[in-house]
Amino acid sequence: MSTPKTIIILSGKRKSGKDFVASLLQEKLDPNRCAILRLSYPLKSQYSKDHGLDLEKLLDASDFKELYRADMIRWGEEKRNQDPMYFIRAISSEPGAEKPIWVVSDARRRSDMDCLHQLFPNIILSLRIHAEEIVRRERGWQFVHGVDDAESECGLDGYNSFDHHLENDGDVNKLNDVIDNILRSHHLLS
């Protein structure tokens, strides 16, 4: 298992901009030193194999993924119930995991946070990303019963231990400034 020097964990609702923020972080921290790792990648990879589906279609933001989202959530919960560390261990062997900085772009459950803190104590910076519902709708979000009210979307709503909260409502300059300040305050950016 790879052991990074720093892990930045991102959490937020669907269409809040987690992937966008992850890309900004990677760019600021140097792609040669910083990898974006997704807990959902090993889930989607194994789910696609088990169900004979196209992995690339499950990885993008297409309607195809939405057809399987609820079942992938159910399947992932079964895996987590059997082994809470399953997906955490899986990302540590993904390409890029040898880099000293990880951006885990999709923590969704308290167990994700607990397992990461347990395996990698004292090297974690956690960020909760917020976007107003109207902005999320503009980005293509629509409420789906069984998805947006499930643990995969709501599991960290009451989590009070995030290091920082970011507003991502479309002002990229403001978002960049906030990210720069956070990275400087944690001595990750000079």
Q: Which residues are annotated as a binding site?
A: 13-19, 139, 168
* DSSP assigned state of 163: S
Cite the annotated binding site for ATP by residue number.
Answer: 13-19, 139
Cite the annotated binding site for substrate by residue number.
Answer: 168
Contact between 116 and 9 under an 8 Å Cβ cutoff? The reply is yes
Phi, psi of 182 (to 5 degrees): -65, -45
Distance CA 86, CA 40 (A): 11
Helix (H, G, I), strand (E, B) or coil at 89: helix
